[in-house]
Amino acid sequence: MSYDGRFRVWRGDADGGDLADFTVEVNEGEVVLDIIHRLQATQAPDLAVRWNCKAGKCGSCSAEINGRPRLMCMTRMSTFEEGETVTVTPLRAFPVIRDLVTDVSFNYEKARAVPAFAPPADLAPGDYRMQQVDVERSQEFRKCIECFLCQDVCHVIRDHEDNKQAYAGPRFLMRIAELDMHPLDQADRRQAAQHEHGLGLCNITKCCTEVCPEHIKITDNALIPLKERVVDHSYDPLVWLGSKIRRR
Ligand code: SF4
């Protein structure tokens, strides 16, 4: 069963653009990315769109569908009414390159700013046995496909471009939390999270968790525990006393 669906797709580049109306055939079982491909094949061959696996694993086809950050390949057309106009726009938090393609290099800069895992220098292979609980804790975070939907929806940068310098965003604060929870990591993640990566700007509205296609509980399992670790460290009287003694 097929029908003619109504779509509005943002066309333009860094200098500006507008929504363009299209009518595109929709078939049973299709997702929004199928429609965008049909649009390219039949009416708009120069429409720019980034995609790769079409299986919800590469994180490339991130866009906003009816204003909500989503993967185009994981958004079924059956979730919309047949008469409904479906609007597809580029990620709002990042600069547009062309049409549905945005420049997400902000995220790669933030990734580079997080120091790598730092085990003890003298630790030999086999010296430490990981506990299953430690493996499971980080496994959830390792499901991240770097679609950057959480980064896009986070109002700290979505609505405040000037915060980008000081704020890593949920994806990379989660990475810091993952490393801080690793029993062997030696780096000072907590002070860095607070003072270099803007953890304090996150006010745990859980928007990131709501849009994550991997259903990672970013807020509950990474951001809130990281905030608690920062507070514990900053206000622990023994830690405070130790820092005073070390300064002498
Ligand atoms: Fe995407 Fe979820 Fe990873 Fe954020 S945490 S980049 S929403 S997979």
pLDDT at residue 230 tops 60:
yes
Kindly give the number of the ligand 1 atom that is closest to the alpha carbon of 143.
8
> 195 C-alpha to center of ligand 1: Å?
23
Q: Whose CA is nearest to atom 2 of ligand 1?
A: 212
Kindly give the number of the ligand 1 atom that is closest to the alpha carbon of 149.
7
Q: Whose CA is nearest to atom 8 of ligand 1?
A: 144
**C-alpha–C-alpha distance, residues 107 and 36, integer Å:** 25
Kindly give the number of the ligand 1 atom that is closest to the alpha carbon of 145.
8
Predicted confidence band at 156 (pLDDT cuts at 50, 70, 90)?
very high
> 171 C-alpha to center of ligand 1: Å?
6
Q: Interface pTM (ipTM) of the complex?
A: 0.98
> 198 C-alpha to center of ligand 1: Å?
18
Residue-wise pLDDT for 161-194, tens only, equals 999 999 999 999 999 999 999 999 999 999 999 9
Between 14-23, 80-89, 119-128, the lowest mean confidence (pLDDT) is in 119-128
Predicted confidence band at 233 (pLDDT cuts at 50, 70, 90)?
confident
pLDDT at residue 248 tops 60:
no
pLDDT at residue 243 tops 70:
no
Ligand 1 binding residues, C-beta < 6 A: 144-150, 171, 211-214, 216, 218
* pTM value surpassing 0.90: yes
Residue-wise pLDDT for 28-40, tens only, equals 999 999 999 999 9
